[in-house]
Amino acid sequence: MLCSILDNDLKSARRFRDEVWGVSAAIFSGITDWGELIEGEIDVFCRLNNPSFRRRASLFTTQPNRQGRRPLRRVMCREEFVSSGTSLQWTNLDAFLSPGAKLLEFGRDIADFLGHPLDSISYFFTPPHSQTLPKHSDCFEVFTLQISGSKTWEFDHPVIDFASGQRLNCSLELRPGDWLYVPAGWSHSVRSRGEQSTSVAIIVAPLQFAHVLLELCNLSFPHTLPAWPVGDQAQNLGSCYIELFEKVKQSFQSLDVEVFRQALAVASARHKRRHRLV
Ligand SMILES: [Fe+2]
C-alpha cells in the first residue's frame, strides 16, 4: 500500500491521506530503490520487437518541434529515440504486467489505501533535454516514480517535501527513487535533464459525481427502492429496471439542497477529499 512507498510507515501514509491528498503536490525523496526491478518488469524496448505487443499496446511518440503526440508507427530502438529526440509514452502498461509485478502491486495498494479505483499505469521514456507533453493539468490523481535519469517539474504552486513538511519551490528536480504526487487539476510542465529519463505514473481515479449519487441513494431512500428481483420476477429484469428508475426519479425530485450537501460531504469524506469539496 501507500506505506510501502513510505518505508512501511502506516502513520505517514495516514498523514499523507489526511493532509496532502487532493491538496498539494508532494515529493517523497529517494525512498524506493526498485528502479532496476521495475525497469525489468517493463522491458519496453524488447517488447517493441513483438508485433502483437505493438498492436495491443497504446504507444505514443512526441517529437521535437511537432505539436501533440502521435501513435508509434514503426519499431524504433532506444538509440533511435535518443538520436531523434523522440519521447515514448505507453499508456496501458498495467494491462501487460504479470499479476505479481511489483509496480502493479504498488498501483493497486495505493488506490486501495486511498479508497479510489486504479485507473491505469503509464510509462515515459524521454531523451535528454526533452519534454514529452506541453504544460497541462490532468483530471486524475498521479503518483510518478522516477526510475532513471532526472527530470525538472514546474508547477504554479510550491510543492511540499513530505518528510519535513516544508514548502519547496514551484520547480523541483526528480531523481531516481523519488516519488512525486500530483493532485488532479495541478498544472505542470516536465523536462528531462542531461540524460535519458524513464519514469512511470500510477494514475488514480478522482472523486466522481457517481460517488455522490451513490451516497444520495444510501442517505435518502435505501428502503424505498424495490428489492432485487428473485424467482419469477427475475425473468423480467427489464420491467424491474423501469420500476427502479421511476422510484429513483421520484425520490430525487423530492430531495432538498441540504440532503444533497450532506451526500456531498459524506462522499468527499469517504474519498478523502474533504479539503477541496466541502
Ligand atoms: Fe501530466
Residues 235 and 122 occupy one common structural domain: no
pLDDT band at 273; cut points 50, 70, 90:
very low
Q: Percentage of residues in the chain with pLDDT exceeding 90?
A: 44
Residues 64 and 186 occupy one common structural domain: yes
Give 241 Cα–ligand 1 centroid separation in angstroms. Answer: 40
Number of structural domains (the chain) is 2
Question: Which of 2-11's residues contact partners 24+ apart within 8 Å by CB, and which partners?
Answer: 2/109, 2/110, 2/113, 2/114, 3/113, 4/106, 4/109, 5/31, 5/32, 5/106, 5/110, 5/143, 5/179, 6/31, 6/162, 7/31
Give per-residue pLDDT as tens, 71-112: 998 999 999 999 999 999 999 999 999 888 888 888 888 888
- Calculate mean pLDDT across residues 170-191: 93
- Calculate mean pLDDT across residues 252-260: 82
Q: Which of 204, 219, 246 is the last residue of a domain?
A: 204
Residues 47 and 71 occupy one common structural domain: yes
Q: What is the CATH number of the domain that holds 120?
A: 2.60.120.650
Residues 109 and 200 occupy one common structural domain: yes
pLDDT of residue 277: 38
Residues 199 and 214 occupy one common structural domain: no
pLDDT of residue 207: 73
Give 137 Cα–ligand 1 centroid separation in angstroms. Answer: 6
Distance (Å, whole) CA 106 – CA 98:
13
Q: Which of 156, 188, 204 is the last residue of a domain?
A: 204
Q: Which of 149, 169, 204 is the last residue of a domain?
A: 204
**pTM of model > 0.85:** no
Handedness of CA 11, 37, 160, 92 (dihedral sign): negative
- Determine the structural domain holding residue 247 and report its residue range: 209-277
Residues 130 and 213 occupy one common structural domain: no
Chain position carrying cell 479505483? 117
pLDDT for 58 beyond 90: yes
Residues 27 and 162 occupy one common structural domain: yes
Give 252 Cα–ligand 1 centroid separation in angstroms. Answer: 37
Residues 169 and 231 occupy one common structural domain: no
Residues 169 and 140 occupy one common structural domain: yes
Residues 98 and 177 occupy one common structural domain: yes
Give 14 Cα–ligand 1 centroid separation in angstroms. Answer: 25
Residues 192 and 215 occupy one common structural domain: no
Give 47 Cα–ligand 1 centroid separation in angstroms. Answer: 24
pLDDT for 275 beyond 60: no
Give 152 Cα–ligand 1 centroid separation in angstroms. Answer: 13
Residues 176 and 228 occupy one common structural domain: no
Q: In DSSP terms, which residues pair with 240 in a beta bridge?
A: none
Give 138 Cα–ligand 1 centroid separation in angstroms. Answer: 5
Give 205 Cα–ligand 1 centroid separation in angstroms. Answer: 14
